[in-house]
Amino acid sequence: MSLHERVYRLLLVAYPKEHRREYGDAMAQLLRDRLRDEGGGLRTVLFWAQIAADLVRTALSERMETTMNAFRQGWWRFTAALIAVAIIFFGIGNLFGGDPGPLYGKILAAVAAVTLAITILGGLYLRTRNTVRSSMMIGVGVLPASVLTIAFWWPPVAAIGVLSLVVALRAFIDADRHRRLDRTASAPA
């Protein structure tokens, strides 16, 4: 591998990992072909200036597209994390609230809230290892919270419950989509 190619491969780090994996070898081959055609000297210097300008423009564009795609697909995971924090806050806050009732009921509600929140956060943590299982965990954690929020904290907080219900449904849809993708990928050709 020539020095030119080593430097170029180092510069390819500016692109997202998926882009490098898919196009990195082809881009390096194009670099080798173009360098061979340039012949060296001043033409090689001008070629590297062109490479640098193109790299900045296209790598920035690819990074922006990857980030926007992640945000479009990941809004519900971010919302699930906020819901987990809210569940903990309201569940623990219920212990110290002025709500009359037996202490064991308050403790049970706090334990349930923390368990649901841990299920959601565990699902978010496992996201990179097992997408189907993590989406199911998020949905299972968020769904009871949304139902309880809608049922017991009407009307202002019910909007959070409805949002939670949307997040739970989105988590289950995501799990189903990834389950289908896994089946398709593992099916014999």
In a domain, 98, yes or no: yes
Type of residue numbered 129: R
How many structural domains does the chain have?
2
Q: For residues 189 and 187, give the distance between their C-alpha atoms in angstroms, rounded to a whole number.
A: 6
In a domain, 81, yes or no: yes
The pTM score is 0.44
Query: Dihedral of the CA atoms 135, 141, 146, 152 (nearest 10)?
Result: 180
pLDDT tens for each residue of 93-129: 766 666 666 666 677 777 777 787 888 888 878 777 7
- The answer to which of 5-9, 103-107, 171-175 has the lowest mean pLDDT is 103-107
Cα-Cα-Cα-Cα dihedral sign, residues 36, 41, 44, 50? negative
102 plus 42 within the same structural domain:
no
In a domain, 69, yes or no: no
